[in-house]
Amino acid sequence: MVLRPKTLTQRLWFSLISCVLITALLTVIALEFSKGNSWIMAGVSLLLFLMLSLLCMRWARRISKDLSSLEVALLNLSDANFSVSMPPPELPEMDALVQQMNRSFGDLRRQRQSIYQRELMLDTMIETSPVAMILCGGSGHIYFANAAARQLLFKGERRDGAHLVEALSDNRSEDSEEFARVILQGRETFFSLLLSSQTQSALAQREGETSADDAMVSGLRSFHYLCSEFSIDRQPHRLHLLKDITREVNRQEAASWKKTIRVISHELNNSLAPISSMAHSCQLLLERGESERLMKVLQRIETGVGSLHEFIQRYASFARLPKPQLAPVSWLNFVQQLQEHFSFRLPDGIPDWELQADSSQLQQALLNLLKNAHESGSETEHIAIRFKEMQQGTRIEVVDQGGGMSGEVMEQALLPFYSTKPLGSGIGLALCREIVEAHQGQMSLDNYRGGLRVAISLPGQAN
């Protein structure tokens, strides 16, 4: 069995040893036959030199060709050019390396194609999104703005590389100042704006509104602004999002109006139908001269009218909620005024820290919550108000043990006009939430120890 070299190193050593042995053998033969003849020795030496030179050149050419192919492949790799493949090598020992390189090139080609397709889909999604998106660096320069942002804020022009403040100020439209104010504040907010005719036309064209009436109707737009901050390679970035929510707001407004009309119509019918019937009875009693019964019927009519008036006033108070007038709350007077209307416990005592709030509005909210607690069936000794000083403000909890709420009821409890009471108007909790949010606070409901807990979180001082 003949042993054949398998690696390039083994083949080189095999060739070198073979050349040395052949050279030594030819030298011995030449010395034996030349018998001191220098010409024969010179010829043999020249022949050996030529043979070794040709052999080395052949090996060098094969190695150089494979190394050149490898160099070209590495240069393509450094240039991110994965479209090439290495040719078959001259040396069999290079086969494994070439195959591995070609597999790597193939994998990189497929990965690049997949990334390109994902980038293309992402770019298409961003460009066709109705949400205006602006990506800025830490210095405020624009990296990218999608089509919606360009149409709404930059007159359709690309402003990549420009500073956001300069790009917004260059617009010079009637509504650009309001957009600039909201975006530069960087806080999440909802706002409405009467757009300029130029911006209206651009948005109408983008949304496919063909008639001038549609564009005119959509002149007053509602927007939701949101800013997100993040870091890429330790470099800060800001993503500004501006969404036109006019259609959603209009739908919600229409639904609210319909529900309001249904509730008011129902209440009016419930009150006016018996009043009309009793008025007819009054006419009959008047004809008969039954004054005593007539007075009783008139009192019932007065009671019905009073209930209807109270119902209308409660709706009016919800619609006319003024902006809160912030001032330090006098806790002692505040609690005493609440106790004049309802009984409750104070497990944590009266607060001794300062809170900036509208005392009358906050008192109105707590009175509604205490009224609900007493109407829940809870014992008076189980109704309590807890005041807690938090790191960033004040937390007020109204708790009872009236059985709490089901999940379905709790999901809708804060919606205006929703009520589970036979004579309820659905205004109380909704009004409480309006008051709390007007103070830049939050309100939440949860079932707690066999009852309901309403938590109000107010900031230490409203901005």
- Domain's final residue, options 263, 291, 319: 319
- Three-state SS sequence of 66-122: HHHHHHHHHHHHHCCCCCCCCCCCCCHHHHHHHHHHHHHHHHHHHHHHHHHHHHHHH
Residue 356 lies in a domain: yes
105, 82 Cβ separation under 8 angstroms? yes
Amino acid 11: pLDDT: 63
**Could you say which DSSP state residue 345 is in?**
B
- The phi, psi pair for 60, rounded to 5°, reads -65, -40
Check whether residue 238 and residue 276 sit in a common domain.
Answer: no
Q: Which of 446, 451, 448, 445 is nearest to 430 (CA)?
A: 445
Q: Tokens 């030298």 identify what position? A: 27
Using DSSP, state whether 386 is helix, strand or coil: strand
pLDDT of residue 414: 60
The pLDDT tens digits for 206-235 are 665 444 444 344 467 888 888 888 888 888
Please tell me the predicted confidence (pLDDT) of residue 315.
67
Compute the C-alpha angle 88/97/110, nearest 5°.
85
Cβ neighbours for 457, distance < 8 A, ≥ 6 positions apart: 390, 393, 394, 395, 441, 442, 443, 444
Residues 368, 428, single domain; the answer is yes
Q: Are residues 342 and 441 in the same domain?
A: yes
- Give per-residue pLDDT as tens, 267-290: 677 667 777 777 778 777 777 777
Average pLDDT for 137-154: 86
Does residue 145 belong to any structural domain of this protein?
yes
Per-residue pLDDT of 82-98, as tens digits, reads 777 888 877 777 778 88
The token pair that represents 295 in the structure block: 């007075």
Q: Which of 164-178, 237-251, 435-449 has the lowest mean pLDDT?
A: 164-178
**Confidence (pTM):** 0.49
Regarding whether 356 and 311 lie in a shared domain, the answer is no
Q: Categorize the per-residue pLDDT at 106 as very low, low, confident or very high, splitting at 50, 70 and 90.
A: confident
Q: Is 126 exposed, middle or buried (0-12, 13-18, 19+ CB in 10 A)?
A: middle
Instruction: Identify the CA nearest to 365 among candidates 275, 455, 292.
Output: 455
Q: Which two tokens stand for residue 339?
A: 């106790």
Which residue, 273, 300, 263, 275, is CA-closest to 423?
263
Q: Pick 428 or 105 by higher pLDDT.
A: 105
Alpha-carbon span 263 to 195, nearest angstrom = 35
Average pLDDT of every residue of the chain: 76
Which range, of 172-186, 404-418, 430-444, averages the lowest pLDDT?
404-418
pLDDT on residue 314: 66
Higher pLDDT, 11 or 62: 62
Can you tell me the distance from the alpha carbon of 171 to that of 293, in angstroms, rounded to the nearest whole number? 76
Instruction: Examine the fold and report which residue of 274, 299, 319 is the final residue of a domain before the chain moves on.
Output: 319
Same domain flag for 440 and 454: yes
Q: Which of 276, 297, 319 is the last residue of a domain?
A: 319
Assess whether 399 and 452 both reside in one domain. yes
Higher pLDDT, 180 or 462: 180
pLDDT at 219: 63
167 is a domain residue = yes
The pLDDT, as a whole number, for residue 9 is 61
Q: Is position 273 within any domain?
A: yes
Are 378 and 300 contained in the same domain?
no
Residues 120, 121, 122, 123, Cα dihedral to 10°: 50
CA distance linking residue 207 with residue 215, whole number of Å = 10
Q: Which pLDDT value is given to residue 215?
A: 39
Rounded Cα gap, residues 79 and 322, in angstroms: 66
Residue of higher predicted confidence among 317 and 389: 389
Do 182 and 238 sit in the same domain of this protein?
Answer: yes
In a domain, 98, yes or no: no
Residues 257, 237 share a domain: no
Number of domains in the chain: 4
Residue 108 in any domain: the answer is no
Give the rounded percent of residues in the chain with a pLDDT score beyond 70: 72
CATH number, domain with residue 215: 3.30.450.20
**Is 115 among the domain residues?**
no
Q: Note the residue count of the chain.
A: 463
104 in a structural domain = no
By the 10 Å C-beta count (0-12 exposed, 13-18 middle, 19+ buried), 137 is classed as: middle
For the cut 60, the answer to whether the pLDDT of residue 186 exceeds it is: yes
Task: Give the lowest-confidence range in 112-121, 359-368, 395-404, 418-427.
Answer: 418-427
Say if residue 143 is in the same domain as residue 208. Answer: yes
Confidence of residue 198 (pLDDT cuts 50, 70, 90): low
**Does residue 360 share a domain with residue 268?**
no
The answer on 379 and 435 residing in a single domain is yes
- Let me know if 362 is exposed, middle or buried by CB neighbors in 10 A (0-12, 13-18, 19+): buried
| Alpha-carbon gap, residue 48 to 34, rounded angstroms | 16
Lowest average pLDDT, out of 13-17, 127-131, 185-189, goes to 13-17
Structural domain range at position 383: 327-459
Would you state the pLDDT for residue 293?
78
Amino acid at 372: N
CATH number at residue 442: 3.30.565.10
